[in-house]
Amino acid sequence: MIARLGTALVLTLAAALPLAAEPFHHPYGEWREYHHDWLAVCPDAINEDATDYYGTSCFASTSSQELNAANLPAYQLTLMRNRLTGELDVAVTVAADNVAVDPSRPLRLSFAGDTTQAYAFGIDLETRYNTTNRYYVTNPARRDTLIEQMKQRNAVTMIVPLTGGKTASKSVWLSMRGVTASLDFMASYARRVAQY
């Protein structure tokens, strides 16, 4: 009887503990690791001459449940670590079908219990590289504050201003579970390549 209770206790405790994420090598030539609701990725090689973030960055994303016609997330929040400088970036991707971002109105981020933050397109958010639907936070101080909030919170609601849709904006709930572990993964794997 005591042995059964002991075994039951051990199994209950083991089931309650979070499982450790294990990095795996993906056929696309990347190291990947899932952290709750985030997927962190570091490509095998660094391409210093790349014209996009993929060549020089590790990145981690959380996404909306909504998918577009290509079966990809309609809305995404991404953290990036430049593998050459260590600098972090935050970007929002809007890839929903039949709508476009309305740049005349701000994108808003709302963490429960905090004041909603507004990010104006062209001032607080900019496109980079060869993308038209990924918006990067421009101000380093705001970016760093946002990353700290993401690490401390469970979720954020992103309100995206839209044109062409049935509504003027889209409210998207995004999980922050896994942010810190994703940042740790990117820091650990940033220089794990053959040429460095």
Residue 192 has pLDDT above 60, yes or no: yes
The region of weakest confidence among 5-9, 108-112, 157-161 is 5-9
Question: Mean pLDDT in the chain?
Answer: 87
Give residue 9's pLDDT: 39
User: What mean pLDDT comes out for the span 155-174?
Assistant: 96
Q: Looking at domain 23-189, which CATH architecture does it have?
A: Sandwich (2.60)
Distance CA 10, CA 126 (A): 51
Residues 6+ away with beta carbon under 8 Å from 42: 30, 31, 58, 83, 185, 186, 189, 190, 192
Q: Tell me: the pLDDT tens digits for 71-104?
A: 999 999 999 999 989 999 999 999 999 999 999 9
User: What mean pLDDT comes out for the span 172-183?
Assistant: 97
User: What mean pLDDT comes out for the span 163-177?
Assistant: 95
| Residue 113 pLDDT level (bands cut at 50, 70, 90) | confident
Give residue 168's pLDDT: 95
Higher pLDDT, 165 or 194: 165
Q: Tell me: the pLDDT tens digits for 5-18?
A: 444 434 443 343 34
For every residue of 134-169, DSSP letters joined together read EEEE--HHHHHHHHHHHHH-SEEEEEEEEESSSSSE
Residue 2 has pLDDT above 80, yes or no: no
Give residue 11's pLDDT: 41
Q: Tell me: the pLDDT tens digits for 51-78?
A: 887 888 999 999 999 999 999 999 999 9
User: What mean pLDDT comes out for the span 173-177?
Assistant: 97
Residues 6+ away with beta carbon under 8 Å from 36: 175, 177, 178, 181
Residue 115 has pLDDT above 70, yes or no: yes
* Position 64, amino acid: S
Domain residue spans of the chain: 23-189
Distance CA 194, CA 46 (A): 9
Give residue 181's pLDDT: 96
How many helical (H) and strand (E) elements, i.e. helices and strands, does the chain have? Answer: 3, 13
User: What mean pLDDT comes out for the span 31-52?
Assistant: 89
Task: Read off the tokens for 144.
Answer: 């760093």
Distance CA 75, CA 191 (A): 29
